[in-house]
Copies of this chain bind each other. A is one copy, B any other.
Amino acid sequence: MANLDEFFKSAFTVDNVIFGFDEGDLKVLLIKRGEDPYFGYWALPGYFVYPQEDLDSAAIRVLRELTGLNNVYLEQVSTFGAVHRHSFGRVITVAYCSLIKIDNYSIQPSSIALQAQWHPVSKVENLAFDHIAILQACFARLKWLIRYRPVGFELLPPKFTLTELQHLYEAILETKLEKRNFRKKILSMDLLIDLVETQEGVAHRPARLYKFDRKRYQKFLAGGFSFELKETRKKERFTKVVTNGIGKE
Give the interface of A toward B (CB within 8 A): 1, 4, 6-12, 35, 48-55, 76, 78-83, 88-90, 92, 94, 147-148, 169, 173, 175-178, 181-182, 185, 227-232, 234
5 A-B pairs with the lowest CB-CB distances in the bound complex, closest first: A178-B232, A55-B81, A7-B11, A175-B231, A7-B48
Q: Kindly report which residue of chain B lies nearest to residue A1, judged by CB atoms.
A: B35
Distance in Å: Cβ of A229 to nearest Cβ of chain B: 6
**Which of B11, B51, B76, B147 touches A229 (beta carbons < 8 Å)?**
B147
In the complex with contacts A11-B7, A79-B76, A51-B231 CB distance below 8 A: no
Distance in Å: Cβ of A114 to nearest Cβ of chain B: 16
| Bound complex: CA A10 to CA B52 (Å) | 11
**Which of B51, B54, B148, B227 touches A10 (beta carbons < 8 Å)?**
B51
In the complex with contacts A55-B79, A79-B94, A227-B173, A8-B7 CB distance below 8 A: no
| Bound complex: CA A189 to CA B230 (Å) | 17
Q: Kindly report which residue of chain B lies nearest to residue A52, judged by CB atoms.
A: B83
Residues of the B chain whose Cβ atoms lie less than 8 Å from the Cβ of A148: 228
Interface centre among A4, A9, A12 (most CB of B within 10 A): A12
Q: Kindly report which residue of chain B lies nearest to residue A143, judged by CB atoms.
A: B227
**Which of B11, B79, B169, B230 touches A79 (beta carbons < 8 Å)?**
B79
**Are A54's CB and B82's CB within 8 A?**
yes
Q: Kindly report which residue of chain B lies nearest to residue A56, judged by CB atoms.
A: B81
| Bound complex: CA A90 to CA B230 (Å) | 44
Distance in Å: Cβ of A170 to nearest Cβ of chain B: 9
Distance in Å: Cβ of A176 to nearest Cβ of chain B: 5
**Are B11's CB and A232's CB within 8 A?**
no
Residues of the B chain whose Cβ atoms lie less than 8 Å from the Cβ of A48: 4, 7
| Bound complex: CA A50 to CA B8 (Å) | 10
Residues of the B chain whose Cβ atoms lie less than 8 Å from the Cβ of A82: 54-55
Residues of the B chain whose Cβ atoms lie less than 8 Å from the Cβ of A12: 7, 10, 12, 81, 92
| Bound complex: CA A49 to CA B10 (Å) | 10
Distance in Å: Cβ of A143 to nearest Cβ of chain B: 9
Interface centre among A6, A53, A55 (most CB of B within 10 A): A55
Q: Kindly report which residue of chain B lies nearest to residue A6, judged by CB atoms.
A: B51
| Bound complex: CA A10 to CA B49 (Å) | 10
